[in-house]
Chains A and B, each alone.
Chain A
């Protein structure tokens, strides 16, 4: 069977050109669909792994810098439940692997109803309630009621 003749350039009445353009559009769309299909399957298969591969642009650049401790925020969120709303809190960072400045930002997020005064290695100032983050995902809340 002969394939229908499709002129590649516009015929005087424009129909041939339109047909060629529509065929081109169809092929282009089909090619894009194929890309979507292949990439979706490839990404889906990779997500089957126990560890999600984090290799997209921002993940490569910033994940390890931004997510220094996966347990810190849940630990601080637990501590929030032990403190009163509005209570001033000092975060004692006893875990040497944690950066106090980083912990302070995470604590401000995880303790939204408390006033996070600061974070540091020392248990100072002693008159404030404090949350101690120790090594091995250890957390302790020391209340000051006075």
Chain B
């Protein structure tokens, strides 16, 4: 590949990301042109959550989407949405956020530099290692390159017996998302660039969520650095796979929920955006379906326990649930109608297998523990278990809710190993580590909520603790 082509790939990637951010910004009804990196990440998640379902719908109904049409449609949609919603535009009122913690400027700068350095080291590694994951070549990357000949969707290819290893029943949100991001056929370099963008998005969304909740830049930067140390970032197996996009969208959806929680104005726009992002998580991969359910439950709980009037709560729950159900339901329906049925892990007599394994759960539990206690985690899950216990003990309800969602997600997949037709030990060894890695940003955000500070109430001092 020539250098010029490489640069063009990166330029197209930046253009694609910029258009999705513009679309997301228009839809979230943020006012003004202040460029805050965390907000851009959340806008990008919302833009992707809106653009991919629409693009996939068009492709499914036979509308070809060449790169120029994609770019034009995204730009036009952003302009039209901006015009349509201009009167409802709002910025989160600063007085509704927790007051910033007074922090030493040097420590703040140091934490920012270290966080950036940790991310830069990961980008350096991603740039030097080849794309090598089997699942990239056999499933994710292959679909992104092959499913759209002449800019149209070609699902006929799944009839080829040679493609039985490609898991044709997997959701197609990510291959479509890669095409929107890279504005065309993604090359190896574009896949790496998209991975870096998703990683940056996860880092910034986590940072935004932590800052919103705690008012601490140092903590936000530090946890961003910890995220970069995690296997989600450091293990190059994730290059070109769905874990990083899933992690980004999940933490962005949770951060959008926190914006909703901290806004006293009760903006339905923030609820719609969070709902769309939550629904879209299920488009990325099958694990996302569980995360969508858990995040939606989390969102409902966050709204219901907030100090709002009952009518406000009802309105916000509706504004959150409706887009989530529509986006997730549309994905589920399109997948059911369009994609061939593959065979899942429950094939055969899963009840009998499950019963036998439930009676002797030690091998499965040992396998799960081996993966979570691996030295690659640098003790992450041990620390998170302690944080969870502290959150329960100190009755930090939001932290408990978020960490419970992470625990429930891991438990849901642990239960798959009870019924799987594969050898459970091999199945755990081949998948559980990656599944756990995708929940790291969400777990870090949940842990940070232990230090959550409430917004100042009218006539009260700043920085009270929320219980």
Contact = CB atoms under 8 A, between A and B. Distances in A.
B149 A113 contact: yes
Contact of B376 (A56, A105, A117): A56
B466 to A, nearest CB: 14
Interface stretch (A4-12, A64-72, A123-131, A137-145): A64-72
B141 interface: yes
B345 interface: no
Given A58-B433, A108-B142, A117-B162, A33 B237 contact: no
A36 B114 contact: yes
Interface in B423-457: 429-430, 433-434, 451
Contacts of A61: 429-430
A56 B348 CA distance: 35
Contacts of A47: 121, 124-125, 128
A43 B378 CA distance: 14
Contacts of B231: 56-58
Query: What is the interface of chain A mostly: helix, strand, loop, or mixed?
Result: helix
B168 to A, nearest CB: 13
A37 interface: yes
A124 B61 CA distance: 38
A39 interface: yes
Nearest to A111: B146
Given A36-B225, A115-B160, A85 B115 contact: no
A109 B121 contact: no
B335 interface: no
Contacts of A37: 114
B132 A36 contact: no
B160 A54 contact: no
B117 interface: yes
A58 B238 contact: yes
Contacts of B218: 29, 33
B229 A39 contact: yes
Interface string B101-114: 00000010011001
A113 B154 CA distance: 11
Given A47-B124, A56-B235, A40 B117 contact: yes
28 contacts: A32-B223, A35-B378, A36-B118, A36-B222, A36-B226, A36-B228, A37-B114, A39-B229, A39-B378, A40-B114, A40-B117, A40-B118, A40-B121, A40-B225, A40-B229, A43-B125, A52-B125, A52-B129, A54-B236, A57-B231, A58-B231, A59-B236, A61-B430, A66-B134, A105-B142, A109-B142, A109-B145, A112-B145
Interface of A: 25, 29-30, 32-33, 35-37, 39-40, 43-44, 47, 52, 54, 56-59, 61-63, 65-67, 70, 73, 85-86, 104-106, 108-109, 112-113, 115-118
